[in-house]
Structure 1
Amino acid sequence: MLPLINAHSYLPLDYQKREADQRGVVEEPPQKLEVVQPEPQQQVQPQDKALQPLKPYFDKYYLLDSVNKIMAALSNYTCTLHKLGIIDEYLNLRATHLISDYGKLPLSDSLKKDLAEGLFYCRDLTYCLPVDKPRSPLPLNLQRLLMAMKCEKETRTNACFKEDLRRNIEGFDLSLFPRDEALDSKVNKLAAIVVGVDSLNELAVI
């Protein structure tokens, strides 16, 4: 059985209105739909960052711990150097004592000479530090010691490298140098060339 269909709903609107008037039915006007606008949300103003306290990257406990570590390391370092006789009680480099120790080792005379020259060079260099323009909060004698030991390590490495060149001088073509030039002079130039070409990256301005 087919479902009942309200045919009246399919009639044109004008016909439906005229038919309603004939029956005396008052058609109510269509109600207007009111669009309700949503209430605007109140924007939360961000607080001024300047008023907010900033948390420090390194608090006082970290700084104090770092200072204690540095002081402990420096204390152990200077104590060890003093026990070995490398420095005196005033943190001065004892170059003469070190040279005498080098003399007891089975080293060539040329290597001993280079080591001694490096020690005196570093000792004299550290006394060129300006006293009236400190760049570190460390005591001046400690600054001199640290600089002298760093310099001594570099000159010692250079002296050992030059000794290795002397032992393997046959592996280099020395035709670039004058024939009557002394061997030490040739070794110094060879060391400057080999070390210099490997240190070109240090010439970068930035």
Structure 2
Amino acid sequence: MASSSSSFSLFGVFAIAFLVFGSSPVLSFKVEEDKENLLQGLNGYRQAQKLPPFEKNAKACCIADKIADVDKDHPCNITTANSTVTARHLSQIANFEHYAEKCKVDLNTTADAIVMPVCVPDMVEPMLLANYTQTQYAQYLNNSKFVGAGLGVDVDWMVVILTTAEHGGSFAGSGAGSVVASMGASVLVVLLGLFLVGNL
């Protein structure tokens, strides 16, 4: 009986891990590694320009991921790689209001942000960084008004969103996001508590 209970509890832990970390932890790790490596590269570039490093903006990351998810359906090759280096304001992104709602971002805090998508086959790091530091995007990286960055990646597409310290580009939350996150954390704590009690 104890063995059956223990097996059930172990299954519960794996189920929770699946829900929290997703179905492909290896792929997820690679995606996060690509983001971190690019952010470090961008901050190294900023340091060379005697500018403070970009702080990671979680809500901008959420929206960048959603934009990258749509962009991944477009082919990525040398031709498209050269033509995608075009900075845009978020208002120019299709379905942006939907993304903002999903990511719990107040639309009034996004007007000054800049979206910079690129496609790089296989996410080759030197080429990826060069697509930002050696193109028209460099003018935004050199602009001290941008203090934060949100990065999203899907397949061969990377999206960087630069945010500001001012209200108009801060990506402040709409309020619901913190409630949802809090509820999610509470559910996880309860489930882990039940697991521990079941093993006593």
Output the TM-score relative to the length of structure 1.
0.22
Quick check: which has more Rg, 1 or 2? 1
Give the number of the structure with larger relative contact order, counting CA–CA contacts within 8 Å between residues 6 or more apart.
2
Which is strand-richer, 1 or 2? Answer: 2
Output the TM-score relative to the length of structure 2.
0.22
